[in-house]
């Protein structure tokens, strides 16, 4: 009978405590899913099994170590995604940010394509369901570009139509009126920067957050510009926004075409824009799906269920 192959991977004791998990629970999951046996001894993790399974176990382990170095921990979601998506195909896909998110790497194949497209195109459309990291990765890319002095400012905008209300009817000044619509962007900023730095940058104009209507008539140079929830823009609004782009600027447009609040939904510019711009060099289109969802596992199942209903 053929003796199983083995693979030895150096892992420091500090990394091993987080990699193996409480009661070695993470390691047991890896062994169960991949069909290998494992033992940790003398600062090395040794896997035993078939060669193909060992290759995958090594890729998963190396990816989880990168995750530990990036965020200091391994969540259950990160473990499951590593088992689904062990190998990065493109090197250098990292956003280094000063906030608690620290070092950000793609966690799904879709996120890898997204980050690669943002790095190689001046204008990127990211289209996919909730929980796939569209907004977070766009903000992380913007913060990384700002920290590296590749842009001078960040401009973040959203159409204010989610609740079917006009801004003028909401209480408070302009900032108070638009804050509820922009909360996901603020959350991403606070994760990738720090709250004091976000406030400082906003007061100095380095970060600008404004409703889409306030973009009209401007030319935005040397800026990283993000339009979030773009499924709620008409084609005319989207054209207005895209033509604000100036020299030295980059744009990311995110949206979920399954959550259009416009009436009728067919007027959404995001649904129609790909047919118009797809062939232009320097413009990237990335489509994320339920496999890229990083929220609670039930969210992925909910998205799949709605997708089946739409097909019916």
Q: Is the dihedral of CA 241, 242, 247, 251 positive or negative?
A: positive
- Establish if 299 belongs to a structural domain: yes
- Establish if 91 belongs to a structural domain: no
Q: What range does the domain containing 59 cover?
A: 5-84
- Establish if 263 belongs to a structural domain: yes
Tell whether 140 and 265 lie within a shared domain. yes
Tell whether 283 and 202 lie within a shared domain. yes
Cα–Cα distance for residue pair 121/20, rounded to 1 Å: 39
**The predicted structure's pLDDT at residue 105:** 79
Tell whether 77 and 188 lie within a shared domain. no
Q: Residue 24: left if φ>0, alpha if ψ -120 to 50, beta else—which one?
A: left
pLDDT (tens digit, 9 = 90+) per residue, 179-229?
A: 666 788 888 898 899 888 999 999 999 999 888 888 888 999 999 999 999
Tell whether 57 and 132 lie within a shared domain. no
pTM score, whole prediction: 0.74
Cα–Cα distance for residue pair 13/129, rounded to 1 Å: 38
Tell whether 148 and 17 lie within a shared domain. no
Tell whether 127 and 203 lie within a shared domain. yes
- Establish if 212 belongs to a structural domain: yes
**The predicted structure's pLDDT at residue 89:** 59
- What does the H/E/C string look like for the chain? CCCCEEEEEECCHHHHHHHHCHHHHHHHHHHHHHCCEEEEECCEEEEEECHHHHHHHHHHHHHHHHHHHHHCCCCHHHHHHHHHCCCCCCCCCCEECCCCCCEECCCCHHHHHHHHHHHHCCEEEEECCCCCCHHHHHHHHHHHHHHCCCCCEEEEEECCCCCCCCHHHCCCCHHHHHHHHHHHHHHHHHHHCCHHHHHHHHHHCCEEEEEHHHHCCCCECCEEEEECCHHHCEHHHHHHHHCCECCCCEEEEEECCCCCCCCCHHHEHHHHHHHHHCCCCCEEEEECCHHHCCCCHHHHHHHHHHHHHHHC
Tell whether 35 and 115 lie within a shared domain. no
Tell whether 145 and 260 lie within a shared domain. yes
Tell whether 71 and 113 lie within a shared domain. no
- Establish if 90 belongs to a structural domain: no
- Establish if 89 belongs to a structural domain: no
Q: Check which CATH number belongs to the domain holding 148 and give it.
A: 3.40.50.300
* Structural contact between residues 135 and 142, judged by C-beta atoms closer than 8 angstroms: no
Q: How many C-beta neighbours within 10 Å does residue 217 have?
A: 7
β partners of residue 234: 268
Tell whether 243 and 132 lie within a shared domain. yes
Cα–Cα distance for residue pair 82/213, rounded to 1 Å: 41
Tell whether 143 and 220 lie within a shared domain. yes
Cα–Cα distance for residue pair 229/158, rounded to 1 Å: 6
Residues in the chain predicted with pLDDT less than 50, given as ranges, are 162-165
Q: What's the token pair of residue 227? A: 């339009």
Q: Residue 42: left if φ>0, alpha if ψ -120 to 50, beta else—which one?
A: left
pLDDT (tens digit, 9 = 90+) per residue, 254-269?
A: 999 988 888 888 889 9
- Establish if 51 belongs to a structural domain: yes
Domain count, the chain: 2
Select from 84, 110, 131 the last residue of a domain.
84
């Amino acid at each position: 009978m053929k003796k199983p192959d083995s693979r030895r991977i150096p892992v420091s004791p500090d990394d091993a405590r987080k990699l193996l998990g409480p009661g070695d629970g993470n390691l047991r999951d890896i062994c169960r899913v991949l069909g290998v046996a494992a033992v940790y001894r003398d600062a090395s993790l040794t896997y035993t099994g078939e060669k193909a399974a060992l290759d995958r176990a090594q890729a998963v382990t190396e990816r989880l170590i990168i995750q530990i170095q990036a965020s200091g921990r391994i969540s259950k979601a990160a473990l499951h995604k590593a088992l689904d998506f062990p190998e990065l195909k493109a090197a250098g896909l990292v956003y280094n940010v000063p906030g608690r998110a620290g070092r950000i790497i793609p966690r799904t194949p879709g996120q890898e394509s997204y980050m690669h497209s943002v790095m190689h195109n001046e204008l990127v459309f990211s289209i996919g369901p909730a929980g796939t990291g569209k907004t977070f990765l766009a903000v992380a890319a913007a913060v990384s570009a700002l920290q590296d002095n590749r842009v001078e400012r960040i401009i973040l905008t959203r159409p204010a139509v989610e609740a079917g209300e006009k801004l003028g009817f909401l209480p408070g000044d302009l900032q108070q009126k638009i804050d509820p619509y922009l909360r996901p962007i603020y959350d991403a900023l606070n994760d990738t920067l720090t709250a004091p730095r976000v406030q400082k940058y906003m007061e100095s104009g380095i970060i600008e957050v404004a409703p889409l209507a306030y973009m009209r008539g401007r030319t935005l140079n040397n800026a990283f510009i993000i339009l979030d929830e773009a499924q709620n823009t008409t084609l005319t609004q989207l054209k207005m926004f895209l033509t604000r782009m100036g020299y030295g600027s980059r744009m990311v447009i995110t949206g979920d075409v399954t959550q259009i609040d416009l009436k009728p939904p067919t007027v959404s510019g995001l649904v129609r824009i790909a047919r118009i711009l797809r062939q232009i060099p320097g413009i990237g289109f990335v489509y994320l799906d339920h496999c890229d969802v990083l929220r609670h596992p039930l969210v992925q199942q909910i998205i799949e269920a709605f997708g089946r209903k739409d097909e019916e």
